[in-house]
Amino acid sequence: MVLSTTVEDEAEGWASMTFEDYRALFLVTSLIGVLLVASPALSLVVSFSSGVEKFSELWLLGPTHMAGDYPFNVRVGEQYSFYLGLGNHMGGSVYYAVYVKFRNQTQPLPNATLSEPSSLPSLFEFRAFVSDSGTWEERVVFSVLEASRVENSSFVNHLLIDNRTVTVGSSVIWDVEKTGFFYQLFFELWIYDVTLHGFGFHNRFVGIWLNMTG
Amino acid sequence: MWASRLRSVSVMVLLFVLSLSPRLAVSASNIQEVATSAISAAEQSVAQAYEAVLDAERIGGNVSGLIVRLNDAADLLSEARMAFDARDFDEAIRFAGLSSEVGREVGDAAARVRVEANQALANRSWWFTGGSILGVLVVLSACLLGYPHFKRWYYRRLLKMKPRVGQA
């Protein structure tokens, strides 16, 4: 009976705990031990979220493989190049499609807020399967095959992208403020959705501005 | 006389050409349709192969080699589309066929990887479950056997102490 009472011995330090406290500590330690040794089996039925954000990267690098020297002032018949790259951090292998589109300053870009792609038609597409944490990169070579200028308007009719002729049929009027005929070549990232058995817009796009100088 | 014969021969040649032209047009249209369906079949084959690869990957199969092959299939599909756009339908059909073939190969290989991964997962599950059960039994036994010792140890320490009540 006496033994169940609290015994104070501050010199020893440990004795301020009752037997019940020690028993609870013993039980908790035992439970932790049981959980530790059972963790391999538990891992088969309980999946823990890694908490890592899933995302994809889409980038453009200049011809020197740096974030600079992008083609800007373009002329008919001259070749220009840059690098298009993808990075997969989606937690598994992914089937990507990159749609290449061409617009003037008034035509629509994708709507990032509504996750909607641009309504413009795709001129060219790249497809790539990328492993988790893997990257894919390709050098893109393009040139303006056919363009014309009438007074203050410029027309681009055909482009050559990776040796493939594509019809553009886009026009723009002279930009008085920025002094140029500006077009944008942009790239939309789409991802294959296994539930839909098709591609869906992945809400990422990059582009370069081009000034038709001649 | 000669002029009349020449005229009649010309008319016959013209009629012959005219009778052929719809057939040629139909033939061109047919090959275009065949190319379109070949490309569509290749797309489906590649997509199915990708889904099979994902299934294998989800259960821990090593699919890095299959991803490389899938990219080969995608490149062939791209070649097929380029040929189609250039109205080279024969080449489009050829490239689409190759792409479908690679897609099918990858799909079959992914199914094999999936079976192997399933087997490995089953083995791992047995080891993990067996090891865990054994571990839990050891810990529980240690607790049950250790508890009386722990109790004795506690009381022994307690008896050695000088209660503060006695001093007061």
Tally of structural domains, chain B: 1
Tens digit of each residue's pLDDT (9 = 90 or more) over A185-201:
999 999 999 999 899 99
Taking all residues of chain A, what is their mean pLDDT, rounded to a whole number?
89
A93 touches chain B (CB under 8 A): yes
Q: Which domain holds residue B21?
A: 2-136
Domain contains B125: yes
Tens digit of each residue's pLDDT (9 = 90 or more) over A82-136:
999 999 999 999 999 999 999 999 999 999 899 999 999 999 999 999 999 999 9
- Contact between chains at A33 and B150 (C-beta distance less than 8 A): no
Distances (CA, A) of B161 to A11, A167, B10, B97: 10, 96, 131, 89
Query: Tokens 């992208």 — which residue?
Result: A161
- Contact between chains at B140 and A43 (C-beta distance less than 8 A): no
- Contact between chains at B136 and A12 (C-beta distance less than 8 A): no
Domain contains B164: no
User: If contacts are CB pairs under 8 Å, which of residues 45-74 in chain B contact chain A?
Assistant: 47, 50-51, 53-54, 57-58, 63-64, 67, 70-71, 74
- Contact between chains at B82 and A42 (C-beta distance less than 8 A): no
Is the model's pLDDT at B53 over the cut of 60? Answer: yes
Domain contains B155: no
- Contact between chains at A39 and B132 (C-beta distance less than 8 A): yes
Q: Tell me whether 0.85 is exceeded by the ipTM.
A: no
- Contact between chains at B131 and A42 (C-beta distance less than 8 A): no
**DSSP string spanning chain B?**
-HHHHHHHHHHHHHHHHHHHHHHHHHHHHHHHHHHHHHHHHHHHHHHHHHHHHHHHHHTT---HHHHHHHHHHHHHHHHHHHHHHTT-HHHHHHHHHHHHHHHHHHHHHHHHHHHHHHHHHHHHHHHHHHHHHHHHHHHHHHHHHHHHHHHHHHHHHHHHS--HHHH-
Instruction: Specify the pTM.
Output: 0.75
Give the mean model confidence (pLDDT) for residues B42-49.
95
Tens digit of each residue's pLDDT (9 = 90 or more) over A12-45:
555 567 788 888 888 899 899 989 988 888 887 8
- Contact between chains at B74 and A128 (C-beta distance less than 8 A): yes
Give the best residue of A32, A93, A99, A164 to mutate against chain B (max B CB count within 10 A).
Answer: A93
Of B122, B120, B127, B128, the residue nearest B62 (C-alpha)? B120
| CA–CA dist B143, B165 (Å, integer) | 34
| CA–CA dist A32, A30 (Å, integer) | 5
A9 touches chain B (CB under 8 A): yes
- Contact between chains at A44 and B155 (C-beta distance less than 8 A): no
Confidence of residue A1 (pLDDT cuts 50, 70, 90): very low
- Measure B95 CA to nearest chain A CA, in Å: 15
Domain contains B18: yes
Of residues A105 and A9, more confidence is placed in A105
- Structural domains of chain A in order of their starting residue, each with its CATH number: 2-45 (no CATH), 55-212 (2.60.40.10)
Domain contains B28: yes
pLDDT over 70 percentage in chain A: 91
Domain contains B151: no
For B132, the closest of A8, A40, A134 (CB atoms) is: A40
Tens digit of each residue's pLDDT (9 = 90 or more) over A148-176:
998 889 999 999 999 888 999 999 999 98
Tens digit of each residue's pLDDT (9 = 90 or more) over B61-115:
999 999 999 999 999 998 998 899 889 999 999 999 999 999 999 999 999 999 9
Tens digit of each residue's pLDDT (9 = 90 or more) over B1-13:
555 666 666 655 5
Tens digit of each residue's pLDDT (9 = 90 or more) over A49-61:
667 889 999 999 9
Give the mean model confidence (pLDDT) for residues B149-168.
73
Give the best residue of A16, A95, A159 to mutate against chain B (max B CB count within 10 A).
Answer: A95
The CATH code of the domain that includes B95 is 1.20.140
pLDDT at B159: 80
